[in-house]
Chains A and B, each alone.
Chain A
Amino acid sequence: MLKFILKRMALMLIVILGVTVLTFLIMHFTPGDPAEMIALSRHGAESLTPENIERIRVEEGLNAPVYIQYLKWLQHLLHGDLGYSLINGEPVLSEILNRFPATFKLAVTSMIVALIIAIPLGIITASKQYSLFDNLSMMGAMIGVAMPSFWFALLLIHLFALCLGWFPVCGSGSFEYIVLPALTLGTGISAVLTRFIRSNMLDVLRQDYIRTARAKGLTEKLIIIKHALKNAFIPVITVIGIQFGRVLEGSVIVETIFAWPGIGKLLVDSIYSRDFAMIQGCVLFVAVIFVLVNLFVDVSYTYLDPRIRYEERR
């Protein structure tokens, strides 16, 4: 078990290193002169003289070979230094950490919304396959998967904020503010999750051990609760991990639409203002979080499935 976790962690470190390389390269090959941008952000437009720019280039080591620049950047990174915003000069990391709680709150709430919708729906549709309810739900899920989240958000705003006035259009603060963003994200994910839970349940319900349970005279309800659910949900855990990535992706758009002050909005704002240091920081941060979540999922998966637990013990 421990060996497995260590192995996964080693692999994760390689991936994270790859992530830093990729992030660095993308920003490095961005069109535009970084020295010029730094000059502009630090000393204003009047500092844009060739001498000034050249001086910054040397100071910042921007004339060194790429790999030297990367190693230097990595060294800073390891000390928690993600650089400074090109717009307001604030440290990137502290800005991101400031925004993280909002994104976290939104992500968790959305995930809860998604699970509240998807778990019962997935179970009921699987146990009543081909019923009218099943067909309607699957149709709904098909639409849900295909619908762009920003459009769904706009529809929700139109209905619940503009027409009915139940919830605020955007912003953050009290509970009402999170309802529409979480509903937008949660519904989208629930469409994927419902389909997944349903097909998993159907798979499990076809297994021999379910037949054995029936042969013992158990009721369908007991069979689903005691025999099917746990088997069907072990793979669901993995998908929840993947869906967490969806939440992070979706949060960029949803936070922008609802003016939710999280990392997603920070990223989009930085893109608009071409704050490359901040973009780099956000992308790196999100990727690392995503990798960590997946590691957590893998480990909990091994813990939940006695078959794997057994093999690891040997």
Chain B
Amino acid sequence: MKSAKKLICQRLKKNKIAIVGLAMITFLLFLAVFAPWIVPHDPIEPNLGKRFLSPCKEYPMGTDDLGRCVLSRVIYGTRVSLQVSMSVVGIIAVIGVTLGLISGYFGGKLDELIMRFVDTVLAFPGIILAMAVAGALGPGLFNVMLALALVSWTGFARVVRSSVMAVKEKEFVESARALGCSDLYIMTRHILPNVITPVIVLATLDMGFIILAASSLSFLGLGAQPPIPDWGSMLNNGRVYMRTAPFLTIFPGIAITTAVMAFNFLGDGLRDAMDPRPQRELKK
């Protein structure tokens, strides 16, 4: 186990794209945490005297229809975006891992039931279901998070289930059972640590997906409400002025793409590093 982790770390270090992803994520986290000290202007207070300024020295990304600094709003948007995606990924990881554990460990009827439930949720194109739920609950960031959580836990359940089925038959589980350990104890102490790696990969990749999905819902006006500086709603707001002030749509879009890419880079890198194939070909 130890050496496997070391190997993964070594490989990850060699994977340039994963390192770039990690660096980008660190940068985004830095922006999110220190936003209040970094931003050049107030992201929320309107300044009607300075509406639609093109990018200039004072406002590097220009100002919006209410004269607010786009750069400051984009930086605060990092905070909103990461908060939303981290909470959602946290929730779905807990739900998915729990259901996957139960399903894989106990098998039988319970497994059948949970898997049919997974199939049912997967039968919907995710965003559409999320949209319906968010629409039914009414607009707002919290509802968007709830909706996204409801539709995107299935990946975790499936991944964990199949990993559990693989470890379940291993000797250390058998011997723990022979020693009379309770199911709960075996699941949390023996099985969970062994399924954690695929969960981390999936969580990283899902971060990108959730950022994208949440911004889509916000773009449709279902998510963050004004004046919250959210990338999706900034784009929605800016699109009306696309002809005269294209910078209102360009910069938040770059922010979303960058953030999603960061998590995808790291996620892909992690997945490759955990690939069990011992030797991978290098180019000459």
Contact = CB atoms under 8 A, between A and B. Distances in A.
Q: Taking the complex as a whole, does A directly touch B, i.e. does some CB pair lie under 8 Å apart?
A: yes
A26 interface: yes
A290 B242 contact: no
B36 interface: no
A22 B222 contact: no
A15 B119 contact: yes
What DSSP secondary structure best describes chain A's contact surface?
A: helix
Contacts of B264: 142, 145-146
B173 interface: no
A143 interface: yes
Interface string B9-43: 00000000000000000000000000000000000
B123 A16 contact: yes
A268 to B, nearest CB: 6
A18 B119 contact: yes
B87 to A, nearest CB: 20
B117 to A, nearest CB: 7
Given A26-B136, A151-B235, A162-B242, A271 B257 contact: no
B186 interface: no
Q: Please tell me the size bucket of the interface on A.
A: 35 or more
Contacts of B243: 162
A148 B116 contact: no
Interface in A137-176: 142-143, 145-151, 154-155, 157-158, 162
A19 B120 contact: yes
B135 interface: yes
Interface string A26-62: 1100110000000000000000000000000000000
B215 interface: yes
B82 interface: no
B123 A143 contact: no
Interface in A244-286: 245-246, 248-249, 252-253, 256-257, 267-268, 270-272, 274, 276, 279-280, 282-283, 286
A271 B261 contact: no
A249 B132 CA distance: 12
Contacts of B215: 148
Given A14-B116, A22-B120, A151-B235, A283 B253 contact: no
A285 to B, nearest CB: 10
Contacts of A271: 131-132, 134-135, 220, 222
A287 B216 contact: no
Interface string A68-88: 000000000000000000000
Contact of A157 (B116, B129, B235, B242): B242
Contact of B216 (A26, A148, A155, A282): A148
Contacts of B131: 252, 267-268, 271
A133 interface: no
Nearest to A148: B256
27 contacts: A14-B119, A21-B120, A22-B120, A145-B260, A146-B208, A146-B264, A147-B260, A148-B216, A148-B232, A148-B235, A148-B260, A150-B216, A150-B235, A151-B256, A155-B249, A162-B242, A245-B126, A246-B125, A252-B128, A253-B219, A257-B239, A267-B131, A268-B131, A270-B135, A271-B220, A279-B132, A286-B124
Given A15-B116, A143-B261, A154-B239, 7 more contacts: A22-B120, A26-B136, A147-B257, A147-B260, A246-B125, A283-B132, A287-B128
Interface of B: 116-117, 119-121, 123-129, 131-138, 208, 212, 215-216, 219-222, 232, 235, 239, 242-243, 246, 249-250, 252-253, 256-258, 260-261, 264-265, 283
Interface of A: 11, 14-16, 18-19, 21-23, 26-27, 30-31, 129-130, 142-143, 145-151, 154-155, 157-158, 162, 245-246, 248-249, 252-253, 256-257, 267-268, 270-272, 274, 276, 279-280, 282-283, 286-287, 290-291
